[in-house]
Amino acid sequence: MKTKIKLFRTTILIIALVFPLAWLYLHAELGTSRKTHEIDLLLLEVIQVETQLTEHILKSRSQLSLHYDDIAHSQQHLFLLMRKLHALLAENINISSLELKSVEQQSQSLQLVVERFKTAKAQISQLQRYLKLLAENVRLLIEDDPHHIINQVDLIIIESFSAYVFGDTPTDNKLINKIKKLEKHASLHQKNTQLLINNLVINFTKLISLKQQENTILNKVFKHEMRQKIQYIRQRIIDNQYQMVSHGNMTLRYLIIYASCLVMLILFFIFNRRHIQKKVSIHKERSERDHLTQLYNRRFFLWQLEESINSSTGALLFIDLDGFKEINDQLGHHIGDETLKSVANKLNSLAKSINPSFFSAQAYRLGGDEFVILIDDMDEHDALNSLEKFAANVVSTCCFYLDKPFQQYNLSVSVGVALFPEQGTNVASVLNCADKAMYHSKHNGRNCYTFYSEL
C-alpha cells in the first residue's frame, strides 16, 4: 500500500515538473510564429495604406480633391509603418529580412514618386491658371479678329484642361498643326499680341510635357512593385507556416510532448481509481465482518434480517454458548477467542453445507458468545422438518470438548428458533421471540433447541 502511495506522489511530482517545462518550450516556439504574424499584419496594413494612397492620388489627378492633405496623411502613415517594420526587423526574425528590406526601399521609392507627383501636379494646375490668364489678356488685346485667333486660343485652353465636351481628343499631329496655324495668324498682328501668343504656346507645350511626365509618374505609382512584393512575402510566410505544420519535426515534437503528458495523466487517473476502489471494498468488508471470527457482524445481520422479513419466509436460530464464561475466565481470553473461532467455523460450515434446494442459511455473530443463523427462502413443504433436523444438527455439532490440554472443559449451545412471518413482521419482535425460545432451552437444561411456536 505504501509503495503505491509513493508511486502516486512521484507521478504528481513528475507532472508538476514536466508541464511547466513543456509550456515554456512551446511558448518560446510560439513566440517566433507570433512575431511573423505581427509582420504579416503590418504588411497587410502597408498594402491598405498603399491602396489609400493610390486612391488619393487618383482623386487629386481627376481634380476631385483639390489639396494634398490626404496624400500627405497616407504618406506619413506609410512612413510610420515602415518605421515599425524596421524596428521589428531589428529583432531578428527567421523570414528573410533581405526581402523586407527591399520592401522598405521600395516604399521609399514610392514616397519619392508621390513627391514628384505632387510637385508636377501643382505645376500643372498653376500652368492651367496661367494659360487661362494669358487667354484673357489675348482677348483684351485683339479688337478685330479675322483669323478667329480667339477661337483657336480657346481650343488650346480646352485642351490644357483636357475638358472635351464631345470626347474628341486631338492627336499630337493635329495639335502641332493647330499651334503652327495659331503662330502664323499671330504673326499678322501687333508685336504685343505676338509675344503674348508665343508665351501662350511655349507654356502650353510646357504643360503638355508636364502632363506626359505626370502620366509616367502615375504609371510608376500603379505599376509599383511594392504591393506584389508584399503579397509575395505574405504568401511565403503562409507557406512557411504550412510547411512547418505539415512537414516539420516541430509538430511531431509537440504531439509527442502532448501525448506523453496526456498518457501520464490518464495512467494517473486509472491507478488512482483502482486504488480508491480497493480501499473502499476493504473498508466495506471491515464494516460488515466481525474481526475475530470473520463472520458477518450484528449491523450487517440486522440489515439482512429486515430484508428477509420483508421479502420472504424464513427462520431465525438464536445460538448462545453454554459454559463459555468459565472457559474465558479460567483459561484466558486467547483460549476463549480460539473457542469462539472454532464455533464460528463450525456454524459457518454447517450453514454452507445445507442443500440450497431446501433453504439457504447464513451465520452471524451478534457479539460476545451469541451467534445467529438466518434461514431464507424456506420451502412450505417439509420445511419445518428439515429445520428441526438442522437445529438438532447445530446442537450436536457444537457440543464438544476442548482440545488436548483442556479436555475437561466442554462446550455446548442453547438454540431458540423463531419463524417469520409467523412470529412477527419486524426485526425486534422476531429477535425477541428467538431470544425467548433460546432462554427456554437454557432453562430446559441447555444443549437443546426450542421452537418459539411450541412454547
Q: Quote the CA–CA distance of 357 and 394 in Å, as a whole number.
A: 19
Asked if 122 interacts with another protein (CB under 8 A), we say yes
Rule CB under 8 A: which of 351-390 touch another protein?
Answer: none
Comparing CA positions, the residue from 353, 375, 372 lying closest to residue 364 is 372
454's grid cell: 411450541
Residue from 10, 126, 228, 453 touching another protein (CB under 8 A): that is 126
Report how far apart, in Å, the C-alpha atoms of 74 and of each of 56, 111, 220 are.
8, 10, 17
Q: Name 65's bridge partners.
A: none
Asked if 209 interacts with another protein (CB under 8 A), we say no
The residue type found at 12 is: I
Q: Quote the CA–CA distance of 268 and 404 in Å, as a whole number.
A: 55
Residue from 11, 123, 412, 429 touching another protein (CB under 8 A): that is 123
- Beta strand 370-376 with 314-322 is antiparallel
Q: Quote the CA–CA distance of 91 and 42 in Å, as a whole number.
A: 15
Closer to another protein by CB, 104 or 370: give it: 104
As measured in angstroms, the least distance from the Cβ of 116 to another protein is 7
As measured in angstroms, the least distance from the Cβ of 72 to another protein is 4
Considering only the C-alpha atoms of the chain, give the largest distance between any 2 of them, rounded to a whole number of Å. 170
Closer to another protein by CB, 73 or 185: give it: 73
Torsions phi, psi of 320, nearest 5? -125, 135
CB 29 within 8 A of CB 82: no
Rule CB under 8 A: which of 53-92 touch another protein?
Answer: 63, 65-69, 71-73, 75-76, 79-80
Asked if 112 interacts with another protein (CB under 8 A), we say yes
Read out DSSP for 255-301?
HHHHHHHHHHHHHHHHHHHHHHHHHHHHHHHHHHB-TTT-SB-HHHH
Which of the ranges 13-21, 126-134, 249-257, 388-396 carries the binding residues for another protein, by CB under 8 A? 126-134
Residue from 33, 59, 93, 130 touching another protein (CB under 8 A): that is 130
Residue from 31, 167, 405, 445 touching another protein (CB under 8 A): that is 167
Closer to another protein by CB, 193 or 441: give it: 193
Read out DSSP for 25-89?
HHHHHHHHHHHHHHHHHHHHHHHHHHHHHHHHHHHHHTTS--SSHHHHHHHHHHHHHHHHHHHHH
Closer to another protein by CB, 7 or 122: give it: 122
Q: Binding string to another protein for residues 189 to 208, with x set by CB under 8 A, is what? A: --------------x-----
Asked if 146 interacts with another protein (CB under 8 A), we say no
As measured in angstroms, the least distance from the Cβ of 238 to another protein is 32
Asked if 128 interacts with another protein (CB under 8 A), we say yes
Report how far apart, in Å, the C-alpha atoms of 367 and of each of 105, 303, 327 are.
99, 16, 17
Q: Quote the CA–CA distance of 85 and 94 in Å, as a whole number.
A: 14
Asked if 125 interacts with another protein (CB under 8 A), we say yes
Closer to another protein by CB, 125 or 281: give it: 125
Closer to another protein by CB, 133 or 250: give it: 133
Q: Applying CB under 8 A, what is the total number of residues that bind another protein?
A: 36
Q: Binding string to another protein for residues 411 to 430, with x set by CB under 8 A, is what? A: --------------------
Residues in the site for another protein, rule: CB under 8 A?
63, 65-69, 71-73, 75-76, 79-80, 112, 115-116, 118-119, 122-126, 128-130, 132-133, 136, 161, 163-167, 203
